[in-house]
Amino acid sequence: MQRIRSFLFDLLLALWTGLFIPLLAILWLCRSPERGVRLASRLWARGVLVSLKWLVGLTYAERGQHKIPDGPCLIIANHQSTWETLAFLILFPDVAIVAKQELLTIPVFSWFLRKSPMILIDREGGSKAVRKMVEESQAALAQGRSVLIFPEGTRKSVSEPIEFKRGVELLYARLGRPVLPVALNSGHFWGPGQSYKRAGTISVSYLDPIAPGLAGPEFTRKAEQLLEAERQSSWPQAA
Protein backbone atom coordinates (compact mmCIF):
# COMPACT_ATOMS: atom_id res chain seq x y z
CA MET A 1 0.00 0.00 0.00
CA GLN A 2 2.80 2.47 0.83
CA ARG A 3 4.36 1.92 -2.59
CA ILE A 4 1.03 2.77 -4.24
CA ARG A 5 0.63 5.91 -2.14
CA SER A 6 4.16 6.98 -3.07
CA PHE A 7 3.45 6.35 -6.76
CA LEU A 8 0.26 8.41 -6.58
CA PHE A 9 2.24 11.24 -5.01
CA ASP A 10 4.71 11.14 -7.92
CA LEU A 11 1.81 11.42 -10.38
CA LEU A 12 0.26 14.30 -8.48
CA LEU A 13 3.63 16.06 -8.29
CA ALA A 14 3.91 15.94 -12.09
CA LEU A 15 0.36 17.26 -12.51
CA TRP A 16 0.84 19.98 -9.88
CA THR A 17 4.06 21.12 -11.52
CA GLY A 18 2.40 21.18 -14.93
CA LEU A 19 -0.32 23.48 -13.61
CA PHE A 20 2.33 26.14 -13.02
CA ILE A 21 3.34 26.41 -16.69
CA PRO A 22 0.67 29.05 -17.48
CA LEU A 23 1.75 30.97 -14.39
CA LEU A 24 5.33 30.94 -15.66
CA ALA A 25 4.15 32.51 -18.89
CA ILE A 26 2.32 35.26 -17.00
CA LEU A 27 5.33 35.99 -14.81
CA TRP A 28 7.58 36.01 -17.88
CA LEU A 29 5.32 38.55 -19.59
CA CYS A 30 5.53 40.65 -16.42
CA ARG A 31 9.36 40.52 -16.63
CA SER A 32 9.66 37.94 -13.86
CA PRO A 33 9.28 40.11 -10.74
CA GLU A 34 11.28 38.54 -7.92
CA ARG A 35 8.49 38.89 -5.36
CA GLY A 36 5.97 37.22 -7.67
CA VAL A 37 8.37 34.41 -8.52
CA ARG A 38 9.12 33.71 -4.86
CA LEU A 39 5.41 33.70 -3.98
CA ALA A 40 4.75 31.24 -6.80
CA SER A 41 7.64 29.00 -5.75
CA ARG A 42 6.37 28.93 -2.15
CA LEU A 43 2.87 28.06 -3.36
CA TRP A 44 4.30 25.20 -5.43
CA ALA A 45 6.43 23.91 -2.53
CA ARG A 46 3.53 24.14 -0.08
CA GLY A 47 1.38 22.10 -2.43
CA VAL A 48 4.10 19.44 -2.59
CA LEU A 49 4.31 19.23 1.22
CA VAL A 50 0.53 19.01 1.57
CA SER A 51 0.47 16.21 -1.01
CA LEU A 52 3.19 14.36 0.89
CA LYS A 53 1.17 14.63 4.09
CA TRP A 54 -2.14 13.41 2.69
CA LEU A 55 -0.96 10.84 0.15
CA VAL A 56 2.26 9.49 1.64
CA GLY A 57 1.64 10.24 5.30
CA LEU A 58 4.92 12.15 5.52
CA THR A 59 5.04 15.35 7.55
CA TYR A 60 7.64 17.21 9.65
CA ALA A 61 8.19 18.68 13.12
CA GLU A 62 10.45 21.63 14.00
CA ARG A 63 12.47 21.89 17.20
CA GLY A 64 14.49 24.80 18.57
CA GLN A 65 12.86 27.64 16.61
CA HIS A 66 13.91 30.04 19.39
CA LYS A 67 17.52 29.55 18.27
CA ILE A 68 16.93 31.12 14.85
CA PRO A 69 18.79 34.48 14.69
CA ASP A 70 16.67 37.61 14.39
CA GLY A 71 18.46 38.90 11.30
CA PRO A 72 19.66 37.34 8.04
CA CYS A 73 22.21 34.59 8.61
CA LEU A 74 24.04 31.73 6.94
CA ILE A 75 22.07 28.48 7.28
CA ILE A 76 23.88 25.16 6.96
CA ALA A 77 22.08 21.82 6.86
CA ASN A 78 22.96 18.20 6.32
CA HIS A 79 21.58 16.86 3.05
CA GLN A 80 19.80 13.51 2.93
CA SER A 81 16.85 14.05 0.60
CA THR A 82 15.12 16.10 -2.07
CA TRP A 83 12.64 16.99 0.68
CA GLU A 84 14.71 19.74 2.29
CA THR A 85 15.29 21.50 -1.04
CA LEU A 86 11.53 22.05 -1.19
CA ALA A 87 10.80 22.48 2.51
CA PHE A 88 13.28 25.31 3.09
CA LEU A 89 11.21 27.47 0.73
CA ILE A 90 8.48 27.25 3.40
CA LEU A 91 10.64 27.15 6.54
CA PHE A 92 12.53 30.30 5.43
CA PRO A 93 10.31 32.01 2.83
CA ASP A 94 12.88 34.38 1.30
CA VAL A 95 15.94 32.19 1.64
CA ALA A 96 18.59 32.22 -1.10
CA ILE A 97 19.66 28.63 -1.66
CA VAL A 98 23.13 27.78 -2.94
CA ALA A 99 22.30 25.16 -5.57
CA LYS A 100 24.25 23.23 -8.17
CA GLN A 101 23.69 24.08 -11.83
CA GLU A 102 22.62 20.51 -12.58
CA LEU A 103 19.21 21.40 -11.09
CA LEU A 104 18.63 23.62 -14.12
CA THR A 105 17.79 20.49 -16.11
CA ILE A 106 14.54 20.01 -14.12
CA PRO A 107 11.53 21.39 -16.05
CA VAL A 108 9.61 24.28 -14.43
CA PHE A 109 11.61 24.03 -11.18
CA SER A 110 14.71 25.25 -13.04
CA TRP A 111 12.87 28.40 -14.12
CA PHE A 112 12.00 29.21 -10.52
CA LEU A 113 15.63 28.65 -9.52
CA ARG A 114 16.84 31.14 -12.12
CA LYS A 115 14.30 33.82 -11.31
CA SER A 116 13.89 33.60 -7.51
CA PRO A 117 16.88 34.27 -7.56
CA MET A 118 18.89 31.44 -6.06
CA ILE A 119 22.68 31.14 -6.03
CA LEU A 120 23.58 28.71 -8.80
CA ILE A 121 27.14 27.44 -8.99
CA ASP A 122 29.12 25.15 -11.23
CA ARG A 123 30.80 22.62 -8.94
CA GLU A 124 33.57 22.20 -11.51
CA GLY A 125 34.16 25.95 -11.74
CA GLY A 126 36.91 26.11 -9.09
CA SER A 127 37.83 29.52 -7.67
CA LYS A 128 35.51 31.32 -10.10
CA ALA A 129 32.50 29.40 -8.77
CA VAL A 130 33.51 30.09 -5.15
CA ARG A 131 33.91 33.81 -5.87
CA LYS A 132 30.46 33.91 -7.50
CA MET A 133 28.97 32.09 -4.51
CA VAL A 134 30.47 34.59 -2.05
CA GLU A 135 29.46 37.68 -4.04
CA GLU A 136 25.87 36.54 -4.59
CA SER A 137 25.55 35.48 -0.94
CA GLN A 138 26.71 38.93 0.18
CA ALA A 139 24.14 40.52 -2.13
CA ALA A 140 21.34 38.31 -0.76
CA LEU A 141 22.23 39.17 2.85
CA ALA A 142 22.31 42.88 1.98
CA GLN A 143 18.72 42.47 0.74
CA GLY A 144 17.71 40.95 4.08
CA ARG A 145 17.63 37.36 2.84
CA SER A 146 19.29 34.46 4.67
CA VAL A 147 21.55 32.15 2.67
CA LEU A 148 21.24 28.37 2.79
CA ILE A 149 23.99 25.96 1.81
CA PHE A 150 24.28 22.19 2.07
CA PRO A 151 28.00 21.93 2.96
CA GLU A 152 28.22 18.23 2.09
CA GLY A 153 27.59 19.15 -1.54
CA THR A 154 25.23 16.31 -2.35
CA ARG A 155 22.70 13.99 -0.73
CA LYS A 156 24.14 11.35 1.57
CA SER A 157 22.86 8.13 3.08
CA VAL A 158 21.56 8.32 6.64
CA SER A 159 24.44 6.08 7.70
CA GLU A 160 27.23 8.30 6.33
CA PRO A 161 29.00 10.70 8.71
CA ILE A 162 28.75 14.42 8.01
CA GLU A 163 31.75 15.85 6.18
CA PHE A 164 31.82 19.34 4.63
CA LYS A 165 33.25 20.44 1.31
CA ARG A 166 35.84 23.23 1.64
CA GLY A 167 33.84 26.09 0.11
CA VAL A 168 31.70 26.66 3.19
CA GLU A 169 34.75 27.75 5.24
CA LEU A 170 35.40 30.63 2.86
CA LEU A 171 31.73 31.56 2.84
CA TYR A 172 31.69 31.65 6.65
CA ALA A 173 34.82 33.81 6.77
CA ARG A 174 33.71 36.28 4.11
CA LEU A 175 30.11 36.78 5.19
CA GLY A 176 30.79 37.51 8.87
CA ARG A 177 27.28 36.45 9.91
CA PRO A 178 25.97 34.03 12.53
CA VAL A 179 25.59 30.48 11.26
CA LEU A 180 22.46 28.46 12.02
CA PRO A 181 23.05 24.67 11.81
CA VAL A 182 19.92 22.68 10.90
CA ALA A 183 19.89 18.90 11.35
CA LEU A 184 17.49 16.73 9.35
CA ASN A 185 16.66 13.03 9.25
CA SER A 186 14.70 13.20 5.98
CA GLY A 187 16.72 10.42 4.37
CA HIS A 188 14.94 7.83 6.52
CA PHE A 189 11.74 8.61 4.62
CA TRP A 190 12.76 9.97 1.19
CA GLY A 191 16.39 9.08 0.69
CA PRO A 192 18.60 8.57 -2.37
CA GLY A 193 18.20 5.10 -3.78
CA GLN A 194 14.93 4.34 -1.96
CA SER A 195 12.30 2.76 -4.18
CA TYR A 196 9.43 4.66 -2.56
CA LYS A 197 8.68 7.36 0.01
CA ARG A 198 7.80 6.28 3.54
CA ALA A 199 5.30 7.66 6.04
CA GLY A 200 6.48 9.32 9.24
CA THR A 201 7.62 12.61 10.72
CA ILE A 202 10.82 14.29 9.55
CA SER A 203 12.73 16.01 12.35
CA VAL A 204 13.95 19.56 11.63
CA SER A 205 16.26 20.58 14.50
CA TYR A 206 17.61 24.13 14.79
CA LEU A 207 20.87 23.97 16.74
CA ASP A 208 22.87 26.58 18.65
CA PRO A 209 24.09 29.32 16.28
CA ILE A 210 27.81 29.64 15.63
CA ALA A 211 29.15 33.18 15.98
CA PRO A 212 31.36 34.70 13.27
CA GLY A 213 35.08 35.13 13.80
CA LEU A 214 36.32 31.56 14.23
CA ALA A 215 39.21 30.23 12.16
CA GLY A 216 37.99 28.25 9.16
CA PRO A 217 39.05 24.79 10.36
CA GLU A 218 37.68 25.49 13.86
CA PHE A 219 34.32 26.52 12.40
CA THR A 220 34.17 23.38 10.26
CA ARG A 221 34.98 21.08 13.17
CA LYS A 222 32.41 22.71 15.42
CA ALA A 223 29.65 22.71 12.78
CA GLU A 224 30.32 19.11 11.74
CA GLN A 225 30.29 17.95 15.37
CA LEU A 226 27.00 19.72 16.11
CA LEU A 227 25.25 18.24 13.10
CA GLU A 228 26.81 14.79 13.54
CA ALA A 229 25.74 14.58 17.19
CA GLU A 230 22.18 15.49 16.24
CA ARG A 231 22.22 13.07 13.30
CA GLN A 232 23.17 10.19 15.57
CA SER A 233 20.55 11.07 18.18
CA SER A 234 17.72 11.81 15.79
CA TRP A 235 15.70 8.64 15.31
CA PRO A 236 12.84 8.61 12.82
CA GLN A 237 9.30 8.69 14.12
CA ALA A 238 7.08 6.08 12.54
CA ALA A 239 3.67 7.12 11.30
- Is the pLDDT score of 236 beyond 80? no
Read off the pLDDT band of 125 (50, 70, 90). Answer: low
Cα–Cα distance for residue pair 38/145, rounded to 1 Å:
12
CA atoms within 13 A on the CB side of 19: 13
Cα–Cα distance for residue pair 93/235, rounded to 1 Å:
27
- Is the pLDDT score of 63 beyond 50? yes
Specify the DSSP element, H or E, that contains 136.
helix 126-142
- Is the pLDDT score of 11 beyond 80? yes
Distance spanning both ends of the chain, measured CA to CA: 14
Whole-number pLDDT of residue 238:
44
**pTM recorded for the entire structure:** 0.91
Whole-number pLDDT of residue 72:
96
- Is the pLDDT score of 99 beyond 80? yes
CA trace torsion 168, 173, 175, 177 (10° rounding):
100
Whole-number pLDDT of residue 169:
92
Task: Calculate mean pLDDT across residues 214-226.
Answer: 96
The amino acid at 5: R
Read off the pLDDT band of 17 (50, 70, 90). Answer: confident
Cα–Cα distance for residue pair 17/82, rounded to 1 Å:
15
Phi first, then psi: what are they for 16, rounded to 5°? Answer: -60, -45
